Structure 1
Amino acid sequence: MKTHVALPVSQRLSQARRRSLVLALAGGAALASLSARAQPAPGKGDILIGRSTALSGGMAPFLAPIHEGQDAAVEDANAKGGIGGRKIRLVTLDDGFDPRRTLENARQLSEKEGVLALLGVSGTSQVMALLPYLVQAKLPLISVYTGSPAIRAQQHPYLFTTRASYADELVKIVRNLVAVQTSRIAVAYENNDFGKLLLPLVEKTIAAEGATLAGSHAIAPTGADANDAAKALAAQKPQAVLLVAAGPPVVAYVRANRAHLGVPVYTLSLGAGSAVLKALGDDARGLAVARTGPSPTKPTIALTRDFQASMKRHDKPVDYDRYTGYMDARVLIEGLRAAGPGVTRASLVQAMEGLGNLDLGGYSYQFSPQNHHGSNYVDIAVVGSGGVYRQ
């Protein structure tokens, strides 16, 4: 996730959007070089779904619960007969959260393993690295763990998202702060592509919602300089801090904020998973998080009850991360069911676009040929005692 690019933030975001605009031109001649296994025979054997993710490195512990939720949903579907008698099998490769390895893995999964689709790629740089190849290979990607506006600049023919964008999350956070008379907001952002690309959007959202930017400060992806960031922001006298980071720097900054500011911290959905809460312990209390799905602990809808029962069967904890993975795999499974046992890459894309209003049991998505981004749902949850969220 680290970068040494020195271009201005606005120019990099513009370049990312331009790359998205020309994706449709990237396919064609290169597809002929794909191996025969890249187009598996329809209706035979297991349905192979590729998963390139961090099984090693700093982000691995933060993504592991999401994988467990995905695995549980797939195992549950297979126990009920799979897709017309065909089992779904996840083929997983470690990318160490490195965009270059993510692309290499996608090529291997597509051209050597013959997967039908990819599931749940994490990271803005990782997804951006994949987008041209998805067109070339005509390979669907269902669900990603980034809400970056760069991947939504124009609808991609093979990308389907299941979570609200960061823009949706930021609007919800800032409106919540303004509603409670907190209008002077500082920003602590991760010093990499993720944080730098989002900073202008954060600044724009704060201004649009009638709040004031008290100041901003970068944090190293390791979180090593979190105390310096907290001290610098304290000098600006903010009423709250909006934290744009994921993984280790979240833990470091929340603790530094307690030591040097003592004001509320709000963060994006991927910023406060179960591994972060476990690492923070009692220091997590009061952390406010944008959540892009319903509460996993309140069995008020059928989907949540299904999830809780699944976690009980698989002996896994009930939390937002596992619920995220579970829900996203359920969307993929519904797409496969709609395509039928003879599913191909092309028919899966068509089936996903034809899902329309997809209700998984009290929680709905909207997909169509004109809309590949299935949800814009955002809520704010606050961490209470024992690391348990309260709405």
Structure 2
Amino acid sequence: MKTPNANAWPNDQRPPLARRRSLVLALAGGAALASLPARAQPAAGSKGDILIGRSTALSGGMAPFLSPIHEGQEAAVEDVNAKGGVGGRKIRLVSLDDGFDARRALDNAKQLNEKDGVLALFGVAGTSQVMTLLPYLAQAKLPLISVYTGSPAVRAQQHPYLFTTRASYADELVKIVRNLVAVQTSRIAVAYENNDFGKLLLPLVEKTIAAEGATLAGSHALASSGEDANDAAKALAAQKPQAVLLVAAGPSVVAYVRANRAHLGVPIYTLSLGAGTAVLKALGDDARGLAVARTGPSPTKPTMALTRDFQASMKRHDKPVDYDRYTGYMDARVLIEGLRAAGPGVTRASLVQAMEGLGNLDLGGFSYQFSAQNHHGSNYVDIAVVGSGGVYRQ
């Protein structure tokens, strides 16, 4: 059995994101203006539950797309708690709804830190949300483990309290474009979401296409609601692309895939967040042929011990086996290993030290690499294609 290589795309092959460093500094400077109340960190000790804070979208348009990830996280936590927890202490997720809004995410982080006294944050979703939190994490010395954004802006400078578990969008884009070039599809159009996420990634997409020897046929913005998907597809059709690279998430993906079928008929490649469980369910057979960058192994192939553990967990919890739940499950397993390495008297400082000391972390066939110099545990990417009924081909 071949273990996926978490270092498949070395850092020096990643195209830089324009203005990413200035964005980090601008956001950090703005957030630093807010004063941080003096609060004591949670006391070290080995009694009581281990409180982990989770600010995420429990309501709003992105909630259905994140819900399966939450279920995977919760299953892994429930599994370890059923076996006595970590060092005899149970893990308790303290969840607050941010509605996928960056300001609410920051307010939630302050509440979780200053009122609830959580040990760490876990599983924050969204580029704007994470970028807004970074200065506060540094001030509060509050670890954040696992985020659901692959934006290179988040990784532009190593943050002392941020640990990621998924490949960056730069890694995903390189894999996508190389795959297209390998099958002699070199004329690529880009449909990108008309928000910070899409606008920040567009320069990186353009540079990746050029660096890999392909040609940018054209690009067109797409409303987050997807209401202008037909206009975008028609505009791109006029550029005669051989494929479309879709940089979007949520409702706009559903709308564009259908519009692409109607007006272009060329293959669509998208990032990992673009084809989650809710998107595939909404599309049904319309998702057939969609190619997706995946940042973890297949959840349905029981060739790894980790996958078998996940499948057994989903059976116990009566949940479907899919990529989204597997993502949440794997990320919670990394958190659990960090807590174990920190010992029963875990503190924020010892958790950070433990995460950096994990080194080569093998969860049972899938490996991560952490160190004091590297807080980004994986850059593994593969391409999966959706078959009939919205099910990935194996």
Coarse TM-score class (shorter-chain normalised) = over 0.9
Question: Shift of residue 378 of structure 1?
Answer: 0.2
Deviation at 1:31, TM superposition (A): 13
**1:15 aligned residue:** 17
Cα deviation 1:243-265 (Å, max 9, x = unaligned): 00000100000000000000000
Matching of residues 29-44 of structure 1 within 5 Å:
38-43=40-45, 44=47
CA deviation profile, 1:246-289 (whole Å, cap 9, x unmatched): 00100000000000000000000000000000000110000000
Q: Is the 8 A contact 1:12 1:197 kept in 2?
A: no
Does the aligned pair in 2 maintain the 1:38–1:115 contact within 8 Å? no
Identity %: 91
The count of residues paired between Structure 1 and Structure 2 equals 387
Alignment partner, residue 285 of structure 1: 288
CA contact 1:187–1:215 (8 Å) conserved in 2:
yes
SS of 1:33 mapped into structure 2:
coil
1:106-151 deviations in Å (ceiling 9; x for gaps): 0000110000001111110000000000000000000111110101
Shift in Å, 1:94: 0.2
Structure 1's 140 and 345: CA in aligned 2 closer, same or farther, altered over 3 A?
same
- 153 and 180 in structure 1: CA distance in 2 versus 1, 3 angstrom threshold: same
CA distance 1:316–1:284, shift in 2 (3 Å) = same
Task: Give the CA deviation at 1:390.
Answer: 1.5
Identify if the C-alpha distance between structure 1 residues 273 and 304 changes in structure 2 by more than 3 Å, giving closer, same or farther.
same
CA distance in 2, matches of 1:10, 1:229: 34
Deviations 1:18-45 (A, max 9, x none): 7689879979999998678751222221
Distance 1:233 1:28 in 2: 38
Q: Quote the Cα distance in structure 2 between the aligned partners of 1:283 and 1:22.
A: 38
Deviation at 1:325, TM superposition (A): 0.2
- Give matches, 1:134-283, under 5 Å: 134-283=137-286
Match in the other structure for 2:6 = none
Mapped partners of 1:16, 1:183: distance in 2: 23
Q: For the structure 1 residues 355 and 173, does the alpha-carbon distance in structure 2 shift closer, same or farther, using more than 3 Å as the test?
A: same
Task: For residue 120 of structure 1, give the secondary structure of its aligned residue in structure 2.
Answer: strand
Separation of aligned partners in 1, 2:317 and 2:140: 35
Any idea what the Cα deviations from partners look like across 1:172-217, whole Å, max 9, x if unmatched? 0000000011000000000000000000000000000000000000
Conservation of the 8 A alpha-carbon contact between 1:70 and 1:328: yes
Partner SS state of residue 215, structure 1 = strand
Distance change >3 Å, CA 310–CA 20, structure 1 → 2: farther
1:17 positional shift: 6.1
The 8 Å contact of residues 38 and 112 in structure 1, kept in 2 or not, is answered as: no
Report if the CA contact (8 A) 2:21-2:156 is conserved: no
Shift in CA distance, 227/31, structure 1 to aligned 2, threshold 3 Å: closer
Kindly state the Cα deviation for residue 385 of structure 1 after the two structures are TM-superposed.
1.0
Equivalent position SS for 1:128: helix
Deviation at 1:341, TM superposition (A): 1.1
Change over 3 Å in CA distance of 1:347–1:253 after alignment to 2: same
Question: In 2, distance between residues paired with 1:12 and 1:375?
Answer: 14
Distance 1:249 1:256 in 2: 10
Residue-by-residue CA offset, 1:339-358 (whole Å, 9 max, x unaligned): 01100000000000000000
Kept in 2: contact 1:273–1:321 (CA 8 A)? yes
Q: Distance in 2 between matches of 1:287 and 1:270?
A: 13
Structure 2 vs 1, CA of residues 212 and 32 (structure 1 numbering), >3 Å: closer, same or farther? closer
Alpha-carbon separation, structure 2, partners of 1:308 and 1:13: 36
Whole-angstrom CA distance in 2 between matches of 1:15 and 1:258: 31
Question: Contact between 2:17 and 2:204, CA under 8 Å: does it hold in 1?
Answer: no
Return the offset for 1:311: 0.2
> Are 1:187 and 1:241, in contact at CA under 8 Å, matched by a contact in 2?
yes
| Structure 1 SS opposite 2:16 | helix
Indicate the larger mover: 30-39 or 309-318. 30-39
Cα gap change, 1:75/1:9 in structure 2, threshold over 3 Å: closer, same or farther? closer
CA distance in 1, matches of 2:13, 2:106: 24
Distance 1:20 1:75, change over 3 A: farther
How far did 1:388 drift? 1.1
How far off its partner does 1:317 sit?
Answer: 0.2
CA separation in 2, counterparts of 1:323 and 1:188?
Answer: 28
Distance of 2:83 and 2:202 partners within structure 1:
45
Which ranges in structure 2 are unaligned for 5 or more consecutive residues? 4-9
Corresponding residue for residue 114 of structure 1: 117
Return closer, same or farther for 1:339/1:27 CA change in 2, 3 Å cut-off. Answer: farther
DSSP 3-state at the match of 2:159: coil
Contact 2:17 2:203 in 1 (8 A): no
Shift of 1:11: 22
The 8 Å contact of residues 26 and 136 in structure 1, kept in 2 or not, is answered as: no
Residue deviations 1:87-119 (CA, integer Å, cap 9, x gap): 000000000000000000000001100000011
User: Does structure 1 conserve the Cα–Cα contact (< 8 Å) formed by 2:14 and 2:174?
Assistant: no
Return the TM-score normalized by structure 2.
Answer: 0.92
DSSP-derived class of the 2:34 partner: helix
What secondary structure does 1:38 align onto? coil
Tell me the SS of whatever aligns to 1:376.
coil
Deviations 1:221-253 (A, max 9, x none): 100000000000000000000000000100000
CA contact (8 A) 2:15 2:208 kept: no
Distance, in Å, in 2 between the alignment partners of 1:28 and 1:233 is 38
* Structure with more relative contact order (C-alpha pairs < 8 Å, separation 6 or more): 2
Residue 14 of structure 2 aligns to a residue whose secondary structure is: helix
* Compared CA separation, residues 24 and 284, structure 1 to 2 (3 A): closer
